[in-house]
Amino acid sequence: MSFFRQLTEKSWLPGRSKGELPEGSVYYLPAQTIAVRLIMMVATVVFSLFVVAYGDRMALSDWHRFSEPSILWANTVVLILSSVAWHWATINARQGRLDGVKTGLLAGGGLALVFLIGQFMAWRQLADAGFYADTNPAYAFFYLLTAVHALHLLGGLVAWGRTVLRVWRGVAVAKVRLTVELCAVYWHFLLVVWLVLFALLWFT
């Protein structure tokens, strides 16, 4: 029964006889999966509102178009590779291969760190060129959107650090499989968010 079908239940009728289990169902999804989906839902709202604010502010006359640092292209490739590595880790976790999981985890997290360093370098390039957050709202949004995205990635790296610790302490692959899968989903989500933000920044 879907969520909305359950809303039509005539619950004032008492359940069937005691020997049978009463009606009612429980979602067969781990609680962590639902929690990660909810986190992504909230993050989607946050980023959507930033994008709406960007669109609204962009329409005003003082908006200054500028060329984003080209290092963002390299950063984007790195983040895509990070996502691929996470996917690799997921496949290996499903097949129970510890070595593959370790490789995927190290590559996924390491590349994410490289991406963050790359984003910081982009900031430095803009600042060195004399473009600060108070120079123009276009720059302010650049700093803001990249920073909020980076903070979400840092949150993901906390989960990554905990997973790496568990794997290196010898926890069975089957026990970290769900965590690896959820981290991978979150990474893919942040990649999509970045692609949208990057397109927005680049084309406007």
| Length of the chain in terms of residues written | 204
Please report whether residue 140 would count as binding other proteins according to CB under 8 A. Answer: yes
Which residues between 155 and 194 bind other proteins (CB under 8 A)?
A: none
CA distance between the termini of the chain: 45
Measured at the alpha carbon of residue 197, what is the angle toward residues 49 and 109, in degrees to the nearest 5? 110
Q: What are 5's two structure tokens? A: 């079908």
Stretch that binds other proteins, among 8-16, 116-124, 157-165, 168-176 (CB under 8 A): 8-16
Residue of 190, 147, 187 lying closest to 163 (CA atoms): 187
Rounded-to-integer distance, Cα 204 and Cα 195, Å: 14
Of 60, 65, 67, 130, the one binding other proteins (CB under 8 A) is: 60
Q: In this complex, which beta carbon is closest to other proteins, that of residue 57 or of residue 166?
A: 57
Q: What are 204's two structure tokens? A: 């406007």
Q: In this complex, which beta carbon is closest to other proteins, that of residue 107 or of residue 159?
A: 159
Stretch that binds other proteins, among 6-14, 79-87, 115-123, 157-165 (CB under 8 A): 6-14
Stretch that binds other proteins, among 22-30, 82-90, 123-131, 172-180 (CB under 8 A): 22-30
Of 101, 125, 134, 196, the one binding other proteins (CB under 8 A) is: 134
What are φ and ψ of residue 64, in 5° steps? -115, 110
Burial 48-65 (b: 16+ CB within 10 A, else e): eebbeebeeeeeeeeeee
Please report whether residue 6 would count as binding other proteins according to CB under 8 A. Answer: yes
Q: In this complex, which beta carbon is closest to other proteins, that of residue 57 or of residue 102?
A: 57
Interface with other proteins by CB under 8 A: which residues?
Answer: 1-3, 6-18, 21-31, 34-35, 38-39, 41-42, 45-46, 49-50, 53, 56-57, 60-62, 132-134, 137, 140, 144, 148
